[in-house]
Amino acid sequence: MIESIILLLSTLFCNGVSCYIGYQLLGTFTFCSKLWNWVILISGALFLAFGWYFLFNMTAYSQISLLSLWIFPFVISKNSRKVAFVVYPFIYFASSMLSSIGTFIAMVIGHSNFDEVISNFWQMLFVLLFQLIIMFVFFIVKKLIARDAYIILTVRQIVIFYTVIFCSVALLSIIVALEGIVSNELGMNMLLVFASIACASLLFLAVYQAYLNTNQKLLREKNQLQADFQKMQQMYYETILKQNEDIRKFKHDINGHLQTIRYLNMEENVQDLEEYLQKIEQQTSIDLQTRYTGNKMIDILLVDLCNQANLNGIEVHVDGYLPNQLAIEEFDLTTVCFNLFKNALEATSQVTEKHKRYIDIFIDYVDLSHLVLEVKNGISQKVVIEGNHVRTTKEDVRNHGIGLRNVISTVEKYDGYLNLDSTETEFIAKVFL
C-alpha cells in the first residue's frame, strides 16, 4: 500500500515537472508568478489523483497522472491559457514517450515483460528517474543553445504534433500487442527499445520543425521590417529634398518679398502687411521638423510616424536627443522603436475622443551604450497586461504580438528592461537598453 502511494506520488511529481519543462521548451507560455496559483495546482492535482486511486480503484499511475494534471494550464497566464489546454495532451504524451523508452530498457536489463516492470517498485522508480533526467537535459540544452527560441503554435502546427503522437502511440501499441505472440523475448524487448527511440526521435523532429517554421516566420517579419524601413528612408530623403527645394525657391524670391514688406510697413498698411505675411507663410509651407532626435535612423521612423499620425488626426510630441554613434546595433534599435511606434499608432487610431488622440515620445541615451525610451499614447479603455504581454483583442490572435515579442527578444539580448503599464486612458511602454 505504501509503495503504491509512493509510486503514485512519484509519477505525479515526475510528469508534473515534465509538463512544466515541456511548456518551457515550447517557449510560448508565461507562467503565473503568484504562489497561490501553484498551491492550488498542487492541491488540485493531489486531490484528483487520490480520488482516481481510491474512489475508482485505478492503479495505472500514468493514466491517473494524465487525468490529474489536466489543470496544469491554470498556472499559465490567461492570454495563452486556451492554447496551453490544447497542447497539454501533446506535451504529456511526448514526455511520457521517454518513460516508455525507460520501461523497455528495464525490460531488456531485467529480462522481464511489460507487466512485470510496471508492477515492480524499483524498476518503476528507475523509469521515472530516466524520464526526468532526459527532460532536464533537454531543458539545459535549450537554455544554453537557444534560450530565446520559441514556437508559434498555429492550427497547422498543432495538427502536425498530434499526428506524430497518434502514429507513435499506434506503433508502440502494435508492438506491445505482439509481445505475447513472439517467442524471442530478448529480441522483442530490443525491438521495443529501438521503436520507442524512433518514436521519441520523431517527436523531437516535430518540435524542431516547429522551431524552424517559427524562425522562418520571424525572418519574414524581419525582412518586411527592413523593406518598410527602406521605404521610410526613401520618403525621408524625398522630404529633405523637397524642403531644400522650397528653401532655395524662397531664398531666390526673398529680396522681392522684403521690398514689398518694407513698402507696406512704410505705408503703415497693417492689414495688407498681415495678409501678405500670411500669404508668404501659406505658399512656402516649409516644415523644418525633420530632425527630431538627431539620430538619422530614429528620425526616419519618426517622420513616417508623424506623417501617418497627421493623416489620422493624431498629435505627436517628441522630446530628447540621440547621437548617431551608439553601441546598440542599428537593426536592433530600429526593431524596438519601429514596433513600439507602430503599436502606439494602431492603438491611438482606434480612439474616438479627440483629447486622447496623442502619442508622446521621450528618448535619451547614457554614455553612448544605453538607450532610454518611453512611449505614451491615448487608449479607449484600459489594456490588460499579463507577464509583460498585452492580451490582444484582435481576431488574428496567433500572429498578433510578434512585434512585441521582437522587442522583448531585443531587450533580452542587451540585458535590458521593458515595462508595460496602462491606466484607464493611457498606455505606457518604457525601454532601457
Q: Which amino acid is at 372?
A: V
Task: Tell me what pLDDT residue 14 has.
Answer: 92
Task: Tell me what pLDDT residue 133 has.
Answer: 92
| Spans of the chain, pLDDT less than 50 | 286-288, 394-400
Tell me, which fold does domain 291-433 have in CATH?
Heat Shock Protein 90 (3.30.565)
> Are 161 and 206 contacting, i.e. CB atoms less than 8 angstroms apart?
yes
Q: How far apart (Å, rounded) are the C-alpha atoms in residues 250 and 346?
A: 37
pTM over 0.75: no
Spatial neighbors of 111 by CB under 8 A, at least 6 apart, are 185, 186
The CB-side HSE value for 176 (13 A sphere, CA atoms) comes to 15
Long-range contacts of residues 236-241, Cβ cutoff 8 Å, at least 24 apart:
236/290, 236/299, 236/300, 236/303, 236/304, 239/290, 239/303, 240/290
Cell of 390: 498585452
Q: How far apart (Å, rounded) are the C-alpha atoms in residues 314 and 344?
A: 11
* Residues forming a β-bridge with 426: 378
Q: How far apart (Å, rounded) are the C-alpha atoms in residues 35 and 321?
A: 43
pLDDT tens digits along 84-120: 898 888 898 888 888 888 888 888 888 777 777 777 8
Tell me the domain boundaries of the chain.
2-218, 291-433
Q: How far apart (Å, rounded) are the C-alpha atoms in residues 188 and 186?
A: 5
**Dihedral of the CA atoms 156, 81, 399, 155 (nearest 10)?**
10
